[in-house]
A and B are shown apart, each in its own frame.
Chain A
Amino acid sequence: MDTDFHRNASKKTLSNTIIDQPTKTWYDSAVTSNYKLRRLRDKFVKSFTIVCVVAVLYPLSSMLYMFVYKGATLISLSTITQPTIGSSSFVSGGLANAIEGTLLLLGIGSSVAVCLGVMGGVYIAEFSRNSSLAKGIRFGVDVLAGVPSIVLGYVGFLLLVIYFGWGYSALAGGLTLSVFMFPYIIRTTELALRKVPDEVREAAKALGSNNATVVNRLTLRFALPGIITGILLAISIGLGETAPLLYTASFSNYVPSALLQSPVGYLTYVVYVFSQLPSAEAHSLAYQASFLLIAIIVTLNFAARVLVQRFSKVT
């Protein structure tokens, strides 16, 4: 053994002197030193991070548990089929109007946001990646993403409800929502398109597809999973927005008769307002609305993940 050899060697020379001390070899240092301390510190940091994560997850999970439990027990077929009856403390009935209203507002909002967002993303990713216009768009989009939703709601109120004269309406609410969802869609579209390698574009160009539409036929196909994921996430964000809709769609117990001049009900309003009303009926409706919202958001996120996994296996 090497160590023994070295020990004996050093012993040999030292035995010439009177004192016979074993000298330290690398092996000794490795075993005794700070190793134990370092291992302990490692374990401590690891446990600390786990504790932090649990501390954050606890309120989330207890919240989910409460709403899912309460909501699931309270929810029934009438929630979906019956509209809300009465107002303020005397509400009762179901959430049919709010559900339809949410779908209507989201429908308008996402159609507009998807069209403009995807086209915008295609423009800044494919056609003029480094132009000053593209840089300006990116900057503007980042700023827009940071604008508080209530400010957007206020702008929507002043512009669409008052100035254009649309009144509280599905269109006003939908458009304000679309402005809110737009930055997410344009950013994820650009990211998804950027992932397609440039060599594929070069090859397509060398075959004479300078026509931008044709290059898009190729790159858009492969960015599609990423784009759809972005859309699903933007929709789930839009679902949870109250502030932009408070001043543009107001609330209504009825499904709107027209796109203009007629207020729309939506689920987040139910949660916001009904939870503060004194009656038990109102609280029950608020729980049910929360449950529905959480259920839809969880489903959307799940669908987004499944899509990503499926498409990354194919290509």
Chain B
Amino acid sequence: MEAKFGFGRTKNNDSQLKGERPDNEHDARTSGQGQESMINISDLHVYYGRLHVLKGINLKIQERTTTVIMGPSGCGKTTLIRTLNRMNDDLPNFRVSGVITIQGFDIYSEKVDPTLLKLKVGMVFQKPNPFPVSVFDNVAFGPKIHRLAKSRNELESVVQESLERAGLWDEVKDRLEENALKLSGGQQQRLCIARALAVKPQILLLDEPTSSLDPSSAMKVEELIVRLKKDYTVILVTHNMQQAARVANTAAFLYNGELIEVGEAPKIFENPDKTLTEQYISGRLA
């Protein structure tokens, strides 16, 4: 599958080759309007004190799809994804109304332990932030604190598997005990992804993962995201429209805290319904 530069996107070849699923069902799945959605956000309002940051977001995200959330700076993209794994809980005056369910369970209900939620929904940040410990200890951190590995051997195999999935194993297998800060920026970001994968989440939230990387490292991380699509539900925030077009199944456009348009990625990029979306795509919006 070759990625095109520009706003076009190659179709998912698998469904065409296999001919198993009819087209409209594929569309339904990726346009996010299907029945059994992984993440269901309904009427979400987020406030920081009196500041109304997210206004009535309604979004359904299907399993094992990649959704890209775009929008100008300050429109609430980061707030939206941080709300999905309850990272915003610690912020002062944070208030949320509406319902977010993951696989049917309301994540803001009182019965939910936010710590365990993070095992299901992993997050990677914009600036790579590895812990200043060895590469091995970085990836092992999650499994260790949640006691996921019962023996040292199991821990080592979890670390190796995560590093392989992140495409970093070959580069660091001889340097596992080296301090993670000695890796290059791109390697550090892939390390952060490996670290997030080590606790075996089902959903991955990526907040502009390549924006602080040089183009070649960014390309490697992008290829990694494309590989991860098969096994994880990925929600990606990015400013890079080409990246979004290359990687995403579904695209959502946020403006000023409101969800303007959401739909299948090719449609949003080539033929959006709303004028605002079209202006943003073509770069005429700030």
Please tell me which one of the listed residues B90, B129, B192, B199 contacts residue A208 in the complex, with CB atoms under 8 A apart: B199
A204: interface (CB < 8 Å) = yes
Contact stretch, chosen from A5-13, A18-26, A69-77, A210-218: A210-218
Expressed in whole angstroms, the minimum distance between the Cβ of B53 and any Cβ of chain A is 19
Task: Assess whether B142 is in contact with A200, with CB atoms less than 8 Å apart.
Answer: no
A206: interface (CB < 8 Å) = yes
Collect the chain A residues with CB atoms within 8 Å of residue B141's CB: 204, 207, 209, 218
Collect the chain B residues with CB atoms within 8 Å of residue A211's CB: 115, 145
**Number of interface residues, chain B, beta carbon within 8 A:** 27
| A315–B180 alpha-carbon span in the complex (Å) | 10
Task: Assess whether B115 is in contact with A222, with CB atoms less than 8 Å apart.
Answer: no
Expressed in whole angstroms, the minimum distance between the Cβ of B258 and any Cβ of chain A is 26
Task: Assess whether A203 is in contact with B131, with CB atoms less than 8 Å apart.
Answer: yes
Task: Assess whether A207 is in contact with B114, with CB atoms less than 8 Å apart.
Answer: no
**Number of interface residues, chain A, beta carbon within 8 A:** 19
Contact stretch, chosen from B40-48, B102-110, B119-127, B224-232: B119-127
Collect the chain A residues with CB atoms within 8 Å of residue B119's CB: 208
| A208–B192 alpha-carbon span in the complex (Å) | 14
Task: Assess whether B115 is in contact with A208, with CB atoms less than 8 Å apart.
Answer: yes
| A56–B213 alpha-carbon span in the complex (Å) | 52
With a 10 A CB-CB cut-off, give which of B141, B179, B199 has the most chain A CB atoms. Answer: B141
Known: A200-B129, A315-B132. A206 touches B115 (CB 8 A): no
- Of the A-B pairs whose beta carbons lie under 8 Å apart in the complex, a sample of 14, sorted by A's number, is A130-B92, A199-B127, A199-B129, A200-B132, A204-B141, A205-B118, A207-B141, A207-B145, A207-B195, A208-B145, A210-B114, A222-B132, A315-B132, A315-B179
Other than A207-B141, A207-B195, A315-B132, give 13 A-B pairs with Cβ distance below 8 A.
Answer: A200-B129, A206-B87, A206-B118, A206-B122, A206-B123, A207-B142, A208-B115, A208-B142, A208-B145, A208-B199, A210-B114, A210-B118, A218-B141
